[in-house]
Chains A and B, each alone.
Chain A
């Protein structure tokens, strides 16, 4: 943006903030330097673009007519109550909390939005935040699909993308009404309604291939009330315990399993071993957790859990 254009836009904002009544386009042309010298057509085009730029940075342009207006063409003004950031005052400890939160986002577009938000708060008189240096919160969003998914969620707009699901399937086209995005254990997930499957689904952003395209109108998607994004993403990664597996562990081994276990008792058949009970629903997921301990963990039952581990070990031992 040239300095001349910035000057014109700033004068336009000042002019529209200062007026109580709606100003006609011709009044604006006279009042704001930079519009006067062009032809009518050129001025109109320039004014349209300028209005668009003001709206893009969040300036609430109001259109309407006063009874005093001579013609039907709408006029413009900026209502101060819609424009101005309300009063906000932060105590020193609150400013520190804000400073800490402001360090969270590591990547575009939210790191940039944080920077411009802080400037506005500083301009509203909020003190410079001094966050503790010994505390470092960081959230990245390196997934290429992040920005498009965030925008779609923010705008309530359906999207379509190519998705590589787990297993031996080629990437397939998915159409989704997005309800939210959630970072869980450092990875971003999109939660929404899968249009073709007619069901609620969770997608990993890192598995989206190529461009995410918007479909339909902004504002068309409404998330169901009371949505728990975190729980939905967590459900995808964590096995809900429906059955109990009995696993014998060598003394001192399998700390992570012991921590998750609902009970622990001495193994009567193995001297110095303990039997723990672990909740699971999918035998393969139980095998994911247990097989890595090798000879230090033995699944006693049920049979489907035992078989899942034995199958893996048999494949490796041969």
Chain B
């Protein structure tokens, strides 16, 4: 298990909570390797030795030899002989209970995610875990009901995708590409299922595009597990989604849009290279688009609230699109 880097482990700031967990942890794991303890607590071995040296001088009032916490080293292992009454970890705080319970609920309520027997257990492993954590948290669990994370799962598609990942099988997808408003047929080798920004995506090696692609599951029209092994190239790289799902590339078309206040939401929803706001709340934004179909649709949708300033041929295309669409209403 690796811990979040913002855990309590670093340096001396979170030292007391760490020590209060360390004593019962060592008690529960006699003869554990120092390196494993350090990894679990996300500290260096040097830091861990300092912690252990400090434990050694702490104990029950009187602080005689029999009162102190006692730790025995043997080779690179450590055993706690005397816990001085610190036999159990401290209860979860409200924030700790909230973090675990809200996360477990989000998984439990993602349609299609649970209920599949697979690598992480039987159908209700998440629910069982949730019940146990809630019970252990006691009163601290109360605030968790005031925080919720909604993830759209796709009951129809998600279990099939998970099964393919589990058995390393190739998938055939009928996939809708919204920028072109067309459905494409392709075979893909599944790599990972991502639940990001409230939606679920399959990351896969697309054999048609010969590249790693993300497929939003609610745009999958049909999915079939093929009787072929999934074989993504060994050098197929997982996408780094830590900075958002869609990071435009330098080769994508740079578009300048004038947005009236009613269309200012565009700047919230799409990564922009620059945003200049005027006093009346209107914006001038520059963003990159992978395909012009997407920008043309966006511009049509915005109507009088938006205008393509550049490139000029794109602005011309939008004018033509609008004129052709308008002809049907004449």
Contact = CB atoms under 8 A, between A and B. Distances in A.
Interface of A: 1-3, 6-7, 9-11, 13-15, 17-18, 31-33, 53, 57-60, 82-102, 104-106, 108-125, 128-140, 150, 153-154, 166-170, 179-187, 206-207, 223, 229-230, 233-234, 252-256, 287-288, 291-296, 298, 306, 309-317
Nearest to B118: A132
Given A6-B16, A85-B91, A123 B21 contact: yes
B221 interface: yes
Interface stretch (B122-130, B205-213, B247-255, B284-292): B122-130
B90 to A, nearest CB: 6
Contacts of A120: 21, 89-92, 96
B241 A84 contact: no
B175 to A, nearest CB: 10
A288 B318 CA distance: 16
B97 A180 contact: no
B136 interface: yes
B262 A316 contact: no
Contacts of A168: 260-262, 280-281
Interface residues of B, number: 128
B63 A101 contact: no
Interface string B108-130: 00000000001111100110110
23 contacts: A6-B54, A9-B16, A10-B58, A14-B84, A15-B60, A57-B16, A88-B133, A91-B121, A97-B120, A99-B1, A111-B99, A116-B8, A116-B17, A116-B21, A121-B89, A134-B190, A135-B120, A180-B147, A185-B197, A207-B268, A287-B303, A292-B298, A315-B303
A119 to B, nearest CB: 5
A316 B302 CA distance: 9
A18 B102 CA distance: 35
Q: DSSP class of A's interface residues: helix, strand, loop or mixed?
A: helix
Contacts, number: 400
B185 interface: no
Interface of B: 1, 3-4, 6-9, 12-25, 28, 40-42, 50, 54-55, 57-61, 63, 84-100, 102-104, 106-107, 118-122, 125-126, 128-129, 132-133, 135-136, 138, 143, 145-152, 162, 165-166, 176, 178, 181-183, 190-199, 221, 241-242, 260-262, 264-265, 268, 280-281, 296-304, 318-319, 321-329
Contacts of A111: 4, 6, 99
Given A7-B57, A101-B107, A311 B297 contact: no
Contacts of B264: 166
A90 B193 CA distance: 25
Contacts of A287: 301, 303
